[in-house]
Copies of this chain bind each other. A is one copy, B any other.
Amino acid sequence: MYSFKNDYSEGCHPNILKALAETNKTQQEGYGDDQYSIKAKELIKEIIRSKHATVHFVSGGTQANLIVISSILKPHEAVISAHSGHINVHEAGAIEATGHKVCTCYSQDGKLTPKQILEVVKEHNEPPHMVKPRLVYISNATEVGTVYNLNELQELSKCCKDNNLLLYIDGARLGVALITTANYHLTLADVAKYSDVFYIGGTKNGALLGEAIVIPNKELQEDFPYHLKQKGALMAKGRVLGIQFLELFTNNLFFELAEHANSKAMQLVEIISDAGYKFLLTPESNQIFPIFPQKLAKIITDKYECYPWQVMNDNEVAIRMVCSWATSDEAITDFEKTLKK
């Protein structure tokens, strides 16, 4: 049963396994002071064109989110998120567990707008009785596969600066957001330029594990490693993370893997569109949400692993299909055949 359930069903890109094997016997410093982590950090700083940024590797996205957010906010400060944001829905209260409220805005497409941010700020007008919004959280790509483009990011950045807010980008799927044809102009350097802190997702883009937290804003850099340690994120064998990111950012592997995931998703989109079906949201990256008649949806979810997403009406249902760095041509062809039957 082939899985279109998510983008972390397989292991990792073979180059990464190879690099782990080749470096396996060398002795290295622990806790991220190994040579591979040091090189990988330098490489990332070059690519984002920011000498003064700091880079830190952690093992997962929820970990990145809770550490970044709790390291920034004072006890009375809150983070603004789309209601569908990962930190609001799918992290088992990780942010609240560090003491902070998540202020939410309803968002049909998973994206936050400057207008919504301003409304949240305006509503919180009774100091000291209400929390003080201080940070804006967006995910790019979002949890529903949509992407922020350069222009949107610039506007969010301006809105934040104008309102004494910081901007944090959850980049669990940053690769596919950068590489999508919906987003010609956005680069990693832009992401670094227009945010205060963000992370580059490895787990969902071909690594075994690992996310790279990047902090362009100097004021947020001080003492950051303490937060990593305190929250259990400072791996003794930090080399495991360093080696992977070194591999991902050598010879553009990171971008190639994202390109693969997107292009496979777009093949599915074409197949599904050609068959006459529509989508819940315009497909922009590796997560797509086709709307199928109930019967057809049943056939598909019986044959492929994927999440039913939303009942549209008595006859139709949207399902979530995800392609990854590892999605095969065969899987696409097979799906095409299934659909045609």
Selected interface stretch from A15-23, A246-254, A284-292:
A15-23
Scan A48-83; emit 1 where CB is below 8 A from any B CB, else 0.
000000000011111111110011001110100000
In-complex Cβ contact of A75 among B9, B62, B227 (8 A): B227
Whether, in the assembled complex, A99 has its beta carbon less than 8 Å from a beta carbon of chain B, the answer is yes
Selected interface stretch from A122-130, A180-188, A261-269, A273-281:
A122-130
Determine how close the nearest CB of chain B comes to the CB of A173; give it in whole angstroms.
12
Once the chains bind, are A232 and B20 in contact (CB under 8 Å)? no
In-complex Cβ contact of A231 among B25, B31, B74, B232 (8 A): B232
Once the chains bind, are B92 and A240 in contact (CB under 8 Å)? no
Selected interface stretch from A149-157, A203-211, A294-302:
A203-211
Q: What are the residues of chain B within 8 A of A225 when measuring CB–CB?
A: 127-128
A126–B229 alpha-carbon span in the complex (Å) = 11
Once the chains bind, are A239 and B11 in contact (CB under 8 Å)? yes
A65–B231 alpha-carbon span in the complex (Å) = 10
Whether, in the assembled complex, A282 has its beta carbon less than 8 Å from a beta carbon of chain B, the answer is no
Once the chains bind, are B30 and A10 in contact (CB under 8 Å)? no
Whether, in the assembled complex, A96 has its beta carbon less than 8 Å from a beta carbon of chain B, the answer is yes
A91–B228 alpha-carbon span in the complex (Å) = 10
Whether, in the assembled complex, A93 has its beta carbon less than 8 Å from a beta carbon of chain B, the answer is yes
Q: What are the residues of chain B within 8 A of A2 when measuring CB–CB?
A: 27
Scan A221-237; emit 1 where CB is below 8 A from any B CB, else 0.
00101111111111111
Q: How many copies does the complex hold?
A: 4
A74–B73 alpha-carbon span in the complex (Å) = 9
Determine how close the nearest CB of chain B comes to the CB of A320; give it in whole angstroms.
13
Determine how close the nearest CB of chain B comes to the CB of A164; give it in whole angstroms.
12
Closest partner residue, chain B, to A224 (CB atom): B128
In-complex Cβ contact of A226 among B23, B92, B235, B326 (8 A): B92
A–B complex contacts, Cβ < 8 Å, 10 sampled: A6-B236, A9-B30, A10-B28, A62-B234, A90-B129, A96-B101, A128-B226, A128-B227, A128-B230, A208-B237
**Which residues in A have some Cβ–Cβ distance to B below 8 Å?**
2-3, 5-6, 8-12, 14, 17, 20-21, 23-31, 58-67, 70-71, 74-76, 78, 89-94, 96-102, 126-132, 203-204, 208-209, 223, 225-237, 239-240, 305, 326
